[in-house]
Each structure stands twice: as C-alpha cells, then as structure tokens.
C-alpha cells in the first residue's frame, strides 16, 4: 500500500506541474477566459478581450525584463451565443482563469482578483465586467485595459497584493511626515477633499492623519517607473516595485501578507514561476501577439460507466443504485443527454444517450440501472464502451462528461487505456468506491480536467450520494444547478429529527430523499407555516430502500422540520438528502464551493481547507462552517472554518472560510463542508478583494483634473435569512513516507497584530494561534519592540522584550488583548514597532508576526474661535476699562494738584 501511495503521489506532483496555466518557453499558455451565460451575445466583447490581452502582453513583456509574454488564450463563449465557434474540449466555466460576468454588487465595475491563498501562491480567477471592457469612460479612471490586466495578472499568477489601502490611505512616516499609502514614495501628488466636485484642503482627524474624506491625487507626469501594483494608470509606471525603492512602512496588504517584501522580490523568489524566471533569458526581439481560440460548449452529455464486478455485490451495488438514482432524478439538468454503461468481465451499453425531458425520461434511465454484480474488473472495456455512447450524438466525445465508478483494482491494465482516455477529449470524473480502487483513476481525472472523489460504502457517511450530487453542470449558470441543502445521517431505533432551512434564493424542485437500512420509516415533514407532508405524500422504492418527497411548486422559505420514525425493533441507519434549485431565474442562489489548498501532500507542511460562501459574488458573513475530512483508511477530522483574517484565512470578512489541516496521515481523503446560517450574523461591510484602485483625478500643471465619479455600490453582506448548504470538494491524497513520525507543527504565524499607544501604555491586539498552527492552544507568547521595524524583521531576538509572564494564551481563533505600561514617558510623536512570536509545549516557535506600528500623537491645543458676539463683549469691556482708567487718572491728578496747592499755602504761612 505504501508503494502505491508513493507512486500516485509522484504522479500528482508531476501532473500538478502541467495543469492549469503553463509557461512554455517565454510564453504563457492554457489561459482560459470564460464569459458567463448571463452575458448577452456580443461579438464586440470578444474583440475587446483580444485587444486587452494583446496590449497587456506587450506591457507584461516590458515590465518583467522582456522575459515573458502571453502566448495562447482560449475564450469560452456561452452555449446560447450565435456564431460559428470551435467546439470546446475541456474548457469549462469553473476552470476559467478569467471570467467575464455582471458586476459584483459590492465592487461595481472594478476589476478584481479572488485570492484565497497567501503570498506567492496562485489565485482563483480575475473578474472583469462587460461594462469595463466596452465602456471607454472607465479608461481615464483605471488606465488602459492592458495595464489593468497586468495588475490583475500579478495577483492571479504570482500571488502579490495591492500596494494601496483604501481603509488607511495615509500614514505618518518614521520622519513624522504624512504620506499616502503607496509604493514607491517617489510617486508624487497632492491630497484634497472633494465637495460637490470642488477641491478643499484636507482636515486632520484625532490621530493627526487626514480625515477619511481626503483623497490622494497623483501628478499625471511622474519621474519614477514603479509601481504597477499601486497605480498602473500612470503613464510612467512600467515596472513592479523592487527592493531599492520599496516602501516598507506603507500599511498595505503587500507589506502585511509578504513580510515587507517588494512585489518584484515575491515574483522572482516566491511565486510559482520563481525557478523558471531565474533561468529564462530575455528575448532579443518583441514576441508575437497572443494566439486566440474562441470555443463554445454545447449542452451537457454524460455517460455513467459503472463497475458491476463481483466485489460490488451486496451493499455496494445498492449504494450505487441509490446514488445514481438521485443523480438521474434530481441532479442532472433538463436538456442534458445521459447514457449508461456497465462493466465487469465484459462491458455493455445498458442505456443509449437519452435526452432529459421530464420525469418519464428520468424514470426510464433509473429503471436501467444495474441491480446485480459479478465477474472481474476490466476497466478499459468499460471506458471504450462509454466513449461509444458519447459519440452517439455527434460522432465525438470531445467536451463530453464521464462519471466513472469502480471499487477495485483493475483486472486488466488500466494504464494501457489511460492515453485513450486523454485523447478522447472527454472530461472524466472518477469515483474510488473503496480503499483498493486503482490509483490510476486519480491520474485519469487529473489529465482530463475531471474530479477525483473517494467514497466509502458506509451508509451513514452518505459519501456516494454526496459524490454524485457534486456533478452539477459547470457552465456558470447557478440558476440551473441543483443545490444540496442537507446531507446527514443517524443510527436510531426511534426518531430521526431535525430542521432544514429553505432560504428565499432556492425553492424550486425541492426534494427530500431518505435512504434507510432495513425498513421504511414513518415520515413527518412540516412546512414553516405548519402544513404537514406525511406518508401519503411520499414514494417508497423498496428495491433501492429509498423514500422520496417532491415538494410541488416553489417550497415555502423558512425552517422545515422533519421527523422520521424507525419501525425496526433494533437500530437502523437512515440518511437524509435535501436538494433544491433557484427560486427564479433572476436571483442566483447562495452557493458554497469547498476545496483544499492542494490535492496532494507528503506531510511536511499543513494543508488548508477553504469554503467560499456567497450569493451573487456577495460574501455571506457570520455562517457556521464545518469541514469533515475522512480517509479511506479510517482517519477522520472535523474542522470549524473561520473568516477572521488570521491563521490560514487570508482576508477577514470576504466570505471565504478556512482552517489548517495538520493531522496528516497517509490515505485518500474526502472533503465535505456543511454551512448553516447563524442568528445575529454581523452587519458589516465585506472586505474588498485585490484589484485596481479608483483614481479620483490627477494633478496636471499644478491643477486638479477630476476623473468621472465612482458609481455608488452596495457594500452590505448578503442577507438571505436562514439557510443551510452542503458541498463536496475534490478528494486529495496524503502520503507520509514510511518510518517518518507524524508531523508536528509549530503555532501559526500571527498576521493581524495591531498596536495603539495611549499615554504611556501600549495596547496590542491579535488573534490567538494554536499549538499546531491554528489547532489547540499555544503555551507562551514572546513580545518584542523597537524604534526600527527592520530590527524586528531581521533580528527579533535582540529587540527590546516585553514582560509577558502574566499573559496566558487562549484557544486558537480567539481575540487576544494585552496592554502594558512603559517605565519611561513616551514622548509625543514617538513611533514604535511591535512583533509577537508564539511557542508550543515542545518549544517549537512560530514565525515572527507581522510588524505592528504604533504612534503617540497628542494634538496641539487649538485657540478657541471668537464669535461676533464675543468680540463685541470684549470691545465693550476694553472700552469700559479705558474710561475707568481715565477717570482714575483725572481724579489722581486733581488730588495731586489740590495737595500741591495746600502745601504751597502752608509754606507761605510758615514764612510769615
């Protein structure tokens, strides 16, 4: 078994290097740009895409030392677009690197990139809108489209971050100057407040910084050529910021997420292309323009290729019938074509391609599902028959789908037909239905851009049903997909009770499917308004041990209560699967996408579990997200995923929940995520993904030239009420080398440390790490400070220590607050830097945290303003004082004269 895992691990590593975007010589290939089906037919949009990528390739070539350019691009247009396009092979919307869709309501027409992972790691996709591509009015704001593309490409391919910060656009530098947040500081400009399109001088807030209304207006003509990740719209900007000009003080995500490294450093030292970029020689002449291929997918064509060999007897063939029945009745969409092949010693077509047109066509396919199993496992025979089925509609399997299920090692040599599968052009999704299923299935799925999913036969896990439920259409139209609301199970001799929330974004084609072990239960399902569905409303299929309730029309939104009473004298296992579709075609439902940071691991580094929860791109915040990871060797782990911007989570409040998976043991793992809404979900603005900055205007010849106003956008998180979702991700492989002890990891790096100086005390805040990355509780915190950030970054141990003897770490994920007094007075204007390192019980230390910056700022007292009324009072008072003084002086003079006269008379009298 160890040798098998080692072999498949090596295959995955090798295949991982050639999947997705590739760098072929100096040119990038296998780039997929997909247009969402909701975007109307427009040939001009294709021309604009080509123009953007062509100019972007030229800009990229110059920006990266003439080493790389865009070589080949495929543009996937919607199935309903008219025109003559080449047939899509394995290009699908959900595999696209760049998507063209309607605006994200929170960001409007701003281009952005969805970044799940950390610094230097590839991102998910770039999002452009048709308005951005077709409306030239936006060029003045964001700059030429090719430049914008390169800005986003750097996010997508190399995992760098933005060098601006809309939440903190200004900061006080170490020289106590107010600076705009940017890289490099050589970019000059002025800052003003806008009031009814007029510019006013910026005001200061209580911290001495410009108020939030203040905006930076760069000079249109600059002397520096950096930096693309700050403001690519400037004509002079043609390079990425390097270490010689990098502004390490700027409070931006690039510094926070990349340990203060310059963008260019990350590209050449940390990105997926780092090794190639070091060896590539610059081209001596400009590269050719990109080669474009416009392709289109037709309707979905699927063939189920099902193993009915002897090892599938008993429970396994029953599980197959149960899962395939649910797929055919509820998952596969109307208008798709489906065929079925069974294989053992021989292979046969048990159902030719059949168009899904209502219940009758679905029932016909279900009746043909194989009820018995025997014989050997000749997988190649099954594949060949499957390709015959896929060719029945147009004599080609290119772009079609296969769901290939087997529970054992091949009797024949499946390696012999691997190339046949790759050459077929079909997308082959494989299900390993036991620990002994061939590992070549992983290779086949990977090389054909399919999914690999493992499933155990245990009914309680419901894994095979979940696997089939995950094979939804991948054209990007969520309103046509079946959404899995609930997948749960219980062993009971009594009641199986619970609640499932049907939110207002779903409700059509809602189905409750109960699978039982021994005998059908009594069914009681209550709607939110109190109506009841009971035994008279359900259908029991005794052959597949399945009870089904189809809700007519659109299911009532709210909490549905279910109760199933087992009538068996002893306990039996029951599972419940609830599926539904969008309530109407105009509202995209809440969707969950589950995935791992990688599909293979040797145990040397932790993996990360991600679950994105969103509704029409708007993040759903405050949900309870639970991931279950279960291996075919019996290991199981349950993780509560967080969206707190700490540990494994890249950005707080972006609707992407994540957690480290550290208990790595050899095996093939399934991934299942459950999402439940919670009362009191936070009503705060979602975080913005990485993207281009809006430029309010430029300074030209000393004057402000304003750009078009930024259109108002909705910045509220999705509010859909109570909901529940279940999602299945692709399976992954862990292969810890034999003889190597289980991995032991240090606490995770703290990435959200902040500092505030109040008087002569300092308040630090951060999120607690764990004993092993973000699991458990760390033992000890080590806090250091310095007047220089470089000291903490390069020589943490020799920085000034903070006494933490009274600080006891909390459980991972909780908020930490620690304040302490300095022994000396902190002078006004002092800037100090802080960092934290944590330690576990085995003295393993984390990486040094992000460096937090604190400044003591006490504003100078301002003279009180004098009103007209106060001024009059002052004048009157002063005049009164003057008059009184004059009277006193006059009296004094009179008294002195009177006294002098008396004295003179006395002298005269004495002389006589």
Residues that are catalytic: 152
Say how far residue 725 (Cα) sits from the centre of its chain: 18
Which residues, at least 6 apart from 768, have a Cβ–Cβ distance to it below 8 Å? 777, 778, 809, 810, 811, 812, 813, 814, 815, 816
Nearest to 569 by CA among 503, 519, 497, 619: 519
Question: What is the per-residue DSSP string for 460-526?
Answer: GG-HHHHHHHT----SS-GGGS-EEEEEEEEEESSEEEEEEEE-TTEEEEEEEEEEESSSPPEEEEE
Separation between Cα atoms, residue 770 and residue 755, nearest integer Å? 21
CB atoms inside a 10 Å sphere around CB 635? 15
Q: Which residues pair with 832 in a beta bridge?
A: 854
Distances in Å between the Cα of 361 and the Cα atoms of 67, 366, 538 are 56, 9, 20
Which residues, at least 6 apart from 823, have a Cβ–Cβ distance to it below 8 Å? none
Nearest to 117 by CA among 658, 692, 673: 658
Asked if 358 contacts 365 with a C-beta cutoff of 8 angstroms, the reply is no
Question: What is the per-residue DSSP string for 264-295?
Answer: HHHHHHTSTTHHHHHHPPPPSSPPPPPEEEEE
Distances in Å between the Cα of 158 and the Cα atoms of 71, 162, 272, 587 are 17, 12, 7, 34
Strands 86-87, 656-661: pairing is unpaired
**Token pair belonging to 314:** 């008993």
Alpha helices in 675-801 (DSSP H): 789-794
**Token pair belonging to 896:** 């002195």
CA-based Rg of the chain, rounded to a whole angstrom?
35
Which residues, at least 6 apart from 862, have a Cβ–Cβ distance to it below 8 Å? none
Q: Which residues pair with 304 in a beta bridge?
A: 340, 403
Q: Is 643 helix (H, G, I), strand (E, B) or coil?
A: coil
Distance in Å from the first CA to the final CA of the chain: 147
CA dihedral 527, 532, 535, 539 (to 10 degrees): -40
DSSP state of 779: S
Sheet of 22-24: strands edge to edge?
22-24, 27-29, 69-70
Separation between Cα atoms, residue 745 and residue 733, nearest integer Å? 19
Asked if 727 contacts 467 with a C-beta cutoff of 8 angstroms, the reply is no
């Amino acid at each position: 078994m160890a040798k098998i895992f080692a072999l498949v691990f090596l295959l995955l590593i090798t295949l991982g290097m050639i999947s997705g975007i590739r760098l072929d010589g100096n040119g990038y290939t296998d780039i997929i740009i997909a247009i969402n089906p909701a975007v109307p037919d427009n040939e001009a949009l294709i021309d604009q895409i080509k123009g953007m990528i062509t100019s972007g390739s030229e800009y990229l070539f110059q920006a990266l030392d003439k080493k790389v350019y865009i070589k080949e691009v495929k543009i996937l247009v919607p199935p309903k677009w008219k025109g003559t396009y080449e047939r899509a092979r394995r290009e699908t919307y959900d595999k696209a690197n760049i998507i063209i869709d309607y605006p994200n309501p929170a960001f409007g027409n701003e281009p952005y990139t969805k970044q799940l992972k950390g610094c230097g790691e590839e991102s998910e996709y770039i999002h452009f809108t048709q308005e951005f591509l077709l409306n030239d009015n936006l060029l003045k704001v964001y700059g030429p489209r090719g430049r914008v593309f390169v800005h986003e490409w750097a996010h997508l391919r190399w995992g760098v971050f933005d060098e601006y910060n809309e939440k903190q656009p200004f900061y006080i530098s170490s020289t106590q100057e107010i600076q705009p947040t940017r890289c490099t500081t050589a970019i000059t400009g002025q800052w003003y407040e806008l009031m009814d399109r007029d510019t006013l001088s910026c005001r200061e807030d209580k911290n001495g910084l410009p108020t939030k209304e203040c905006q930076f207006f760069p000079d249109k003509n600059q002397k520096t050529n950096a930096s693309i990740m700050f403001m690519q719209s400037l004509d002079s900007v043609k390079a990425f910021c390097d270490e010689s000009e990098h502004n390490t003080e700027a409070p931006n995500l690039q510094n926070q997420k990349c340990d203060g490294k310059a963008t260019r450093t990350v590209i050449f030292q940390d990105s997926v292309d780092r090794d190639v970029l070091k060896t590539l020689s610059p081209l001596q002449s400009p590269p050719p323009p990109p080669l474009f291929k416009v392709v289109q997918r037709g309707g979905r064509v699927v063939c189920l290729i099902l193993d009915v060999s002897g090892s599938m007897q008993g429970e396994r063939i029953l599980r197959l019938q149960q899962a395939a029945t649910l797929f055919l009745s509820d998952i596969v969409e109307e208008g798709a074509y489906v065929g079925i092949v069974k294989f053992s010693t021989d292979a046969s077509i048990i159902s030719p391609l059949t168009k899904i047109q209502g219940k009758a066509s679905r029932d016909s396919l279900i009746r043909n599902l194989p009820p018995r199993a025997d014989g050997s496992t000749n997988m190649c025979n099954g594949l060949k028959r499957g390709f015959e089925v896929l060719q029945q509609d147009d004599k080609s399997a290119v772009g079609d789908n296969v769901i290939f299920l087997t529970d054992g090692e091949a009797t024949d040599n499946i390696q012999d037909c691997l190339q046949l599968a790759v050459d077929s052009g079909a997308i082959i999704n494989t299900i390993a239905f036991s620990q002994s299923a061939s590992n070549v299935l992983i290779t086949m799925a990977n090389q054909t851009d399919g999914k690999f999913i493992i499933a155990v036969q245990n009914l309680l896990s419901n894994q095979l049903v979940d696997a089939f439920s995950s094979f939804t259409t991948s054209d990007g139209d969520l309103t046509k997909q079946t959404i899995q609301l609930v997948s749960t199970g219980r062993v009971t001799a009594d009641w199986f009770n619970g609640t499932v929330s049907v939110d207002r974004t779903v409700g059509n084609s809602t189905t409750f499917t109960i699978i039982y072990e021994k005998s059908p239960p009594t069914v009681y399902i209550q709607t939110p308004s109190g109506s009841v569905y009971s035994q008279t409303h359900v259908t029991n299929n005794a052959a597949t041990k399945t009870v089904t309730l189809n809700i007519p029309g659109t299911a009532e939104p709210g909490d549905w209560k279910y109760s199933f009473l087992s009538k068996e004298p002893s306990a039996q296992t029951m599972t419940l699967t609830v599926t539904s579709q969008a309530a109407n075609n105009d509202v995209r439902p809440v969707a969950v996408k589950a995935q791992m940071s990688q599909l293979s691991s040797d145990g040397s580094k932790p993996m990360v579990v991600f679950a994105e929860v969103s509704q029409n791109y708007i993040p759903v915040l405050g949900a309870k997200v639970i991931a279950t990871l279960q291996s075919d060797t019996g290991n199981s782990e349950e993780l509560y995923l967080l969206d707190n911007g700490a540990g494994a989570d890249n950005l707080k409040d972006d609707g992407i929940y994540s957690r480290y998976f550290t208990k790595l043991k050899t095996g093939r793992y399934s991934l299942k995520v459950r999402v439940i809404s919670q009362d009191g979900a936070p009503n705060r603005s979602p975080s913005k993904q990485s993207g281009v900055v809006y430029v309010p205007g430029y300074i030209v010849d000393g004057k402000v030239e304003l750009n078009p106003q930024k259109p108002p956008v909705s910045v509220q998180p999705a509010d859909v009420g109570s909901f529940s979702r279940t999602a299945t991700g692709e399976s992954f492989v862990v292969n810890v080398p034999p003889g190597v002890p289980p991995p032991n990891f240090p606490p995770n790096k703290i990435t959200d440390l902040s500092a505030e100086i109040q008087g002569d005390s300092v308040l630090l805040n951060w999120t607690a790490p764990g004993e092993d990355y973000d699991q458990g509780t760390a033992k000890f915190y080590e806090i250091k400070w310095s007047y220089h950030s470089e000291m903490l970054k390069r020589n943490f141990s020799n920085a000034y220590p903070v006494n933490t003897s009274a600080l006891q770490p909390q459980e991972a994920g909780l908020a930490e607050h620690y304040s302490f007094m300095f022994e000396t007075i902190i002078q006004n204007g002092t800037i100090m830097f802080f960092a934290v390192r944590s330690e576990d019980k085995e003295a393993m230390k984390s990486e040094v945290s992000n460096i937090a910056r604190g400044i003591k700022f006490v504003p100078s007292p301002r003279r009180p303003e004098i009103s007209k009324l106060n001024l009059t009072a002052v004048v009157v008072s002063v005049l009164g004082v003057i008059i009184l003084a004059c009277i006193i002086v006059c009296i004094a003079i009179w008294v002195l004269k009177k006294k002098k006269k008396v004295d003179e008379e006395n002298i005269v009298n004495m002389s006589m």
